[in-house]
A and B are shown apart, each in its own frame.
Chain A
Amino acid sequence: MEAATAQAAGVQPKRRSRGVPERRLAWYMVSPSLVLIALVAVYPIVYAVWLSLHQYSLINAGEVRWALPSAPFGNYTDALWGQDSAAFWSAFRTTFIFTIASVIFELLIGIAMAMAMHAAFKGQGILRTVILVPWAVLTVVTAITWQTIFEPELGFVNTMLGAVGLPDDTIWLGSEPEALIVMIIADVWKTAPFMALLILAGLQVIPNEIYEAGKVDGATGWQRFRKLTLPLLMPAILVALIFRTLDALRIFDLPFVLTKGAQGTDTLSLISYETFQQNRLVGEGSALAVLTFVIVMAVSFLYIRFIGGNLKTMAEE
């Protein structure tokens, strides 16, 4: 009753209802998710840290020995400057080369695609559907697709290179650094469309009046792009960049299917998998996983800083 009068008077109505008080209901509704997240994400990470500080090989499961390694933080020192450091730093390098190269190309192609889609009013729906195909295709399928394309005889790449007089006998996935290049191309194909969609959404909220004003002031197309579009697009670009960077740093499926990590394509996630799953060295593998985690979290710290404001507005009423 009171509420109705308040609303009629144009005042924010006081929410009053039977049942559980609002604040307590909110916690009831949030807690199942929080408990699940704690169980399936937080607890495993804590356990990974514990495992990484211990050594135990599942191969000698008969003589169960879970103990601290002889040297403190032995799994970490082995990975960083001990016996396994060559593999770790090589994977570190590969992961960062892959991330930087693929994200830069994805961004450039994504911006170009978004601008073209924004300008083409006719058939935009069809274009969006087309552009979603690489995004929706499984990463494993992406890897197989590019494997068929770069396969020396079956693929069209060598045939095309031969047609223009270039060497046509490259064994792409069997050479270094060619294998890494194929991996980058496959990733750019799969995710540039995602970038394009995020950037297109950013373009569409820029009011047309701004361009009109720019035109009146006599700005050229390039000037309008650099001085008007790009700054206004920055938030959308940053979000897309950070999403993609975090994803690229975790890359696993592409090198697994393309090369099984051979020819300089071993990434951080992949060497960790090889260590704990294939070699059954759970402690050592966990240390590599924790290192990967720390690296990705350090980068995602930037992410929270950039879109932290965005999050805050979402959480506020």
Chain B
Amino acid sequence: MEAASVPAAVERAGKKTKVRDPAKPRTPWWLWLAVAGIVVFCLFPFYWLLNTSLKTGADLSTSALVPPSPTLSNYEAIFRDANFTIALKNSAIVALVTTALSLIVGSFCAYALARLRMKRKFLILAIVLSISTFPQIAIAAPIFKLWRDVGLYNTIPGLVIPYLTFALPLTIYILTSFFKEIPRDLEEAALVDGATNFEAFRKVVVPLAAPGLATAGILTFIAAWNEFLLAITLTSSTSARTVPAAIAFFTGATQFEQPLGTISAASVIISIPLILLVLLFQKRIVAGLTAGAVKG
């Protein structure tokens, strides 16, 4: 049993208990306490960020639980700042292009690893996986030098290309475990009907693997959107900087203003796409994160 069936396992487990304990459907109080603890632990820090983003001026030196005079002026300020809006656009381009590229190239590789007969599969998978454990700094230093020599320093392609070092292994790993879950019969039927192996992949497997592709795509997008080390190493100005890098160099509107208000507002804005993804695709994300990690 693999990743994709985890939500199903949850459902089964839930049903089983209901059947077993019809007299005791109540959750004990300490469990509610634990659940409340988890919710506070996960959400309260983020609430504090939101709280800070609504404060300006003197409010920024009080630890009031609710902003005394809430205002959206921090948000207005960051959207007037070209450093931020350009970075937002750069982030979107870099993350989307990285995701698209690694899905296209990675799905071929994953299909071959999951389905076709070939030698040295284990070696290939091991190489792919060990690349994902490389510390990014080890490729950042040489690529910094290389990009400055060939003119890719501080450009969007100069970010997308090295992003493949983490995006491709992630995609290949997730897709390989998803492709293995697709029943073979349909493919076999297509082959019997005279389709080539590649046609079977394109017309039968890819449509069936759509959920897997979505999962891999979401996780890759999140990873690319979050990436920081390469983003600050390989850029030097607003033109190619992504949001995480831009925020790190953010210093507030004036020298005398506490910049945490505007920085918090920017942080909230760039978290919104990720929180939307989590709300919409919680099951897919969990399935992807646990893909291959647990063997039933």
Contacts and interface: CB of A to CB of B under 8 A. Distances in A.
A130 interface: yes
Contact of A25 (B35, B112, B127): B112
Contacts of B117: 22-23, 26, 317
Interface string A25-38: 11111101110110
A156 B286 CA distance: 32
A296 B14 CA distance: 41
Interface stretch (B68-76, B77-85, B162-170): B162-170
A40 B131 CA distance: 10
Given A13-B192, A32-B108, A48-B141, A133 B46 contact: yes
Interface string B41-57: 11101101100100100
Given A37-B127, A273-B233, A276-B144, A125 B139 contact: no
Interface string A130-164: 11111011111100111111010111101100000
A289 B137 contact: yes
B118 to A, nearest CB: 4
B100 interface: no
Contacts of B23: none
Contacts of A77: none
Nearest to A25: B197
The main secondary structure of chain B at its interface with chain A is: helix
A285 interface: yes
A5 to B, nearest CB: 10
A17 B201 CA distance: 12
Contact of B141 (A51, A113, A208, A236): A51
Contacts of A129: 278-279, 282
Contacts of B240: none
Contacts of B39: 127, 130
18 contacts: A7-B192, A20-B196, A23-B116, A25-B198, A36-B164, A125-B283, A129-B282, A130-B43, A136-B274, A137-B275, A138-B244, A197-B289, A198-B294, A235-B294, A282-B141, A304-B130, A311-B122, A312-B122
A240 interface: yes
A292 interface: yes
Given A19-B198, A29-B109, 17 more contacts: A3-B191, A23-B119, A30-B112, A40-B139, A44-B139, A125-B282, A129-B282, A144-B267, A145-B45, A153-B62, A201-B290, A236-B294, A239-B293, A240-B293, A257-B247, A273-B229, A282-B141
Given A34-B124, A138-B271, A256-B228, A249 B61 contact: no
Given A17-B196, A44-B146, A129-B278, A201 B6 contact: yes
Interface stretch (A81-89, A100-108, A116-124): A116-124
A256 B136 CA distance: 15
Contacts of A18: 194-196
Contacts of B260: 144, 147-148, 151, 154
Interface of B: 1, 3, 6, 9-10, 13-14, 16-18, 27, 31, 34-35, 37-39, 41-43, 45-46, 48-49, 52, 55, 60-63, 65, 105-106, 108-109, 111-113, 116-119, 121-122, 124-131, 133-146, 161-162, 164-165, 168-169, 172, 176-177, 180, 188, 191-192, 194-200, 222, 225-226, 228-229, 232-233, 244, 247-248, 258, 260, 263-264, 267, 270-271, 274-275, 277-279, 282-283, 285-286, 289-290, 292-296
B229 A37 contact: no
Nearest to B133: A300
A138 B142 CA distance: 25
A127 B281 CA distance: 14
Contact of B136 (A17, A239, A252): A252
B190 to A, nearest CB: 9
A198 B42 contact: no
Given A130-B43, A208-B13, A252-B229, A145 B27 contact: no
B194 to A, nearest CB: 7
Nearest to A242: B133
Contacts of A120: 27, 31, 34-35
Interface string A251-274: 011001100000000001100110
A130 B135 contact: no
Contacts of A4: 192
Contacts of A155: 48, 63
B141 A276 contact: yes
Contact of A30 (B118, B135, B229, B270): B118
